[in-house]
Amino acid sequence: EEEFYIDQSPYFLPDVVVDPPAVCPGQTTLVVVDSLEQLEYTEYQWDADWNGLGGEVVSYVGDAGAELTAGTYRVLVTDEDGCQGQRVFIVETIGSYIPEVTLDPYCDGIPESIVFEGGYSSPQEGALLVYMSSNEESGWGGSYLEVIINGEDNYILSSSSGFQQFDFDIAAGDDIEIIFYEDASVDSDVLSVSVYNCGFLNATQISDLSAGTIFTSASECEASPATGTWECLSGPVPWSFSNVNEYDTEFSPSSYGLYEICFTEETCETDYCYDIEITEEPSVTLTVLDDLLCNGESETVFAEVEDIGGTAELNWSAPGEDGVATNDYSFSNTTTYNASIIVTNGCGSASATIPLYSQYTPEPSLEDQSLCEGGGVYLDPTSPDTDDLNFEWSVDGDLIPGEIAEEYTAVSTGEYCVEVSNQCGSAEACANITIVGDIPPPLESMTIDCLGDGFASVVPELPEGYTVVWPDGSTDLTWQVDDASIYDGTEICLDYTDPFECETNTVCSYLYIGLPPTIQPEPFLIDVNGIDTWQWLTPPRLIEATQAGNNDGPHLTLCPEVEYEFDLNAQTWDGADWIDGAGEYEWWVECEDTTIYFGDPTDAMTVISSMLNQNCWEYGISLVGSAINPCAVGGVREEWNVIVDYCELVIPNVFTPEYGDAMNEDFHIEGLEVYDNVRMRIYNRWGQLVYTADDYRNDEAWRPNDGETGTYWYTMSLPNGFDYNGHVTILRDN
């Protein structure tokens, strides 16, 4: 019995054919699995950008082929038994190396020359690339490589994965040696090495590895310039290249501007183009002939640009066209538009703004309106309102002070007009606004005619257009009513209707047609033998006037509890004749610190002292009577000067008729002159009645017959009911 081991590699190495083996940037190559081996495989898997080293599958050619760009790939194949094999390979890039160059704008004047360098087709220095591949996922295990450069620099390379890349700096003249050290436990058939000596064109693939030196070579790096052709496609002339056939050159411009130069690489005919901008920071201003655009007019905005190199981009605000020095603007609406431009070149930018004012001649509009329930009418002549508009409102031809707003609310009837203006013109719109709201009553509570024409004209205060109906059915605006008609002295009612017949209302008024009342007051002053005397006609009565303490004219003395009748004897016109009485009366007294009104006043007033308080006694006061009717609402007045007094009497107990002088000739009672209707009775010593009077007065005092002397008895009764009794002695000069 014998034991043995079978070691199976997870992968085998399929062969591939790369045609062409290297490509120019952007080009593709066709890679196909060896045609003889294809008979053994049933599945193919193409993996691009293997280990992140670039590459793209552009298309597939059947299952066994693919169109690829430059990069690193893996192809995985599966045979009929399910075994898999893989191959990692590289599609190299050919052509010259051209460095990436970024040229900043030249902003400090014109440079003498611009240097381009670093391009080569075979460089003086480069890289040695060593790729270690394994069909085992565990990599190379204990097997490894030693890289020796110039016999001095030693590098140990190992791999623990299916692919590992190493790179080393090398230069022209360097010697390179690679030694393989084999781990017996690892099958060398699953290992492979790829060496790239200073470029992908110098590639060596080593699949059959055996211990020892597997690669020796001198460095393939050599100083070969990148060749091709320079040309200037655009820019100010003259210009020049120090070498037009190699990438490394100097370009010499002659002036400010934008140059476009290109280098066409010889091998791949690839163009490398550069823009050279030589300029300074720009500046710009905007101008316009007229910044006001009326009614859709067009206006040109001019840009004055300073851009010495002519490289600037001109970017206008919309809707302006970019890249031009002028733009025409017009607007279909009212607006304020800020036209702006930004000028930019490689050395900086500048901007400018100018306002344009688009206005349209106003076209205000107002419509006639009416309201039946009062309120206000909102007037808006323009919509929408714009900031350029000015408004001036008027009603019935008169300006409304301070009203300059865009809208107005009319609250009364009238013709409302608004003038709307801006810098492009003005226009006016008007509307008749009727607001049928509550109006003041067209008639007062009383309608009074005191002209004495025999009729009254009643004229209601109504706005224009109102219609009326009077109590008699007439419809004239002015109603003529005869004095003493059935309507005189009654309440009349008027129906009135607004012009739009929104509503009919009724107002009532007391109608009075007449004249102020007349008065013939009693008592009145007359002169009786040089003495001011108060006289009553009905019934006849005389009382001598007295002076008040302040001596302000003749007064009527009111004695205690004596009734005094004051009568206005008022008369009122009834439309045909004067009749007794007035509509109303007022009676009052004006004391020093108070006014006393009497209740239930009539045409006549009976006054007694008890009606007045003590503050009204013993000095002159005024008693006033007033006859009132609608034609004399303040009253037709009479004023009596009166004084309320105690009216004390001094009764003599002796008098001396014919005593040799003219004094004390009769029975004169001091203070009696303020009384009337004094009842006097005188008796002699035998009780015989010798004198009688019912209106005893001092100016007609009792005097006995000639020669009579002695003592007499008297009884006297005053109108206030006070009684006096006594005796009086008559003495004579014998």
CA distances from 632 to 436, 487, 637, 698 (A): 37, 20, 10, 43
Are residue 62 and residue 84 in the same domain, yes or no?
Answer: yes
Count of domains for the chain: 7
Residue 116 placed within a domain: no
Buried b (16+ CB within 10 A) or exposed e, 329-358: bebeebeebebbbbbbbbbeebebebebbb
pLDDT at 550: 62
**pLDDT above 90 as % of the chain:** 59
Handedness of CA 474, 480, 485, 490 (dihedral sign): positive
Are residue 87 and residue 166 in the same domain, yes or no?
Answer: no
Rounded CA-CA distance 264/270 in Å is 5
pLDDT tens by residue, 317-364: 999 999 999 999 999 999 999 999 999 999 999 999 999 999 999 999
Rounded CA-CA distance 217/680 in Å is 188
Residue 100 placed within a domain: no
Comparing CA positions, the residue from 333, 324, 327 lying closest to residue 295 is 333
82's tokens = 């399910």
Q: Is 648 helix (H, G, I), strand (E, B) or coil?
A: coil
- Mean pLDDT across the stretch 701-707? 83
Are residue 89 and residue 194 in the same domain, yes or no?
Answer: no
Residue 101 placed within a domain: no
Average pLDDT, the chain: 90
Are residue 355 and residue 405 in the same domain, yes or no?
Answer: no
Are residue 684 and residue 721 in the same domain, yes or no?
Answer: yes
Phi-psi region of 362 (alpha: psi -120 to 50; beta: other; left: phi over 0): beta
Residue 548 has pLDDT above 80, yes or no: no
135's tokens = 């069909």
- Mean pLDDT across the stretch 308-313? 94
**pLDDT above 70 as % of the chain:** 98
Residue 122 has pLDDT above 80, yes or no: no
Cis peptide leading into residue 523 (ω within 30°): yes
pLDDT at 586: 95
Residue 39 placed within a domain: yes
Rounded CA-CA distance 648/563 in Å is 17
Pick the last residue of a domain from 93, 113, 138. 93
pLDDT at 10: 56
Comparing CA positions, the residue from 385, 378, 336 lying closest to residue 363 is 385
Are residue 559 and residue 638 in the same domain, yes or no?
Answer: yes
Q: Which domain holds residue 627?
A: 524-644
Pick the last residue of a domain from 481, 512, 543. 512
pLDDT tens by residue, 607-654: 998 888 888 888 888 999 999 998 998 899 999 999 998 889 999 999
Residues 6+ apart with CB under 8 A from 324: 314, 316
Residue 513 has pLDDT above 60, yes or no: yes
197's tokens = 């000596």
Q: Are 407 and 366 in contact (CB under 8 A)?
A: no
- Mean pLDDT across the stretch 178-188? 91
Are residue 462 and residue 400 in the same domain, yes or no?
Answer: no
Rounded CA-CA distance 79/62 in Å is 17
Are residue 418 and residue 450 in the same domain, yes or no?
Answer: no
pLDDT at 650: 93
Confidence of residue 5 (pLDDT cuts 50, 70, 90): low
pLDDT tens by residue, 490-499: 999 999 998 8
Residue 371 has pLDDT above 90, yes or no: no
Confidence of residue 81 (pLDDT cuts 50, 70, 90): confident
pLDDT at 471: 95
Confidence of residue 250 (pLDDT cuts 50, 70, 90): very high
Is the pTM higher than 0.75? no
- Mean pLDDT across the stretch 562-573? 92
- Mean pLDDT across the stretch 294-303? 95
Are residue 665 and residue 634 in the same domain, yes or no?
Answer: no
Pick the last residue of a domain from 222, 249, 271. 222
Rounded CA-CA distance 478/651 in Å is 73
Confidence of residue 669 (pLDDT cuts 50, 70, 90): very high
Residue 659 has pLDDT above 80, yes or no: no
Question: CA angle 271-272-276, nearest 5°?
Answer: 135
Q: CATH number of the domain at 479, please.
A: 2.60.40
Residue 8 has pLDDT above 60, yes or no: no
pLDDT at 252: 96
Residues 6+ apart with CB under 8 A from 182: 143, 188, 209, 210, 211
pLDDT at 123: 64
Residue 264 placed within a domain: no
Are residue 83 and residue 141 in the same domain, yes or no?
Answer: no
Backbone angles phi, psi at 553, to 5 degrees: 115, 170
Cis peptide leading into residue 319 (ω within 30°): yes
Are residue 563 and residue 618 in the same domain, yes or no?
Answer: yes
Residue 116 has pLDDT above 60, yes or no: yes
Residue 7 has pLDDT above 60, yes or no: no
Confidence of residue 718 (pLDDT cuts 50, 70, 90): very high
What secondary structure letter does DSSP report for 266? Answer: T
Residue 105 placed within a domain: no
First to last CA, the chain: 222
pLDDT at 398: 93
Residue 579 placed within a domain: yes
Residue 222 has pLDDT above 90, yes or no: no
Are residue 455 and residue 499 in the same domain, yes or no?
Answer: yes
Residue 260 has pLDDT above 80, yes or no: yes
Residue 345 placed within a domain: yes
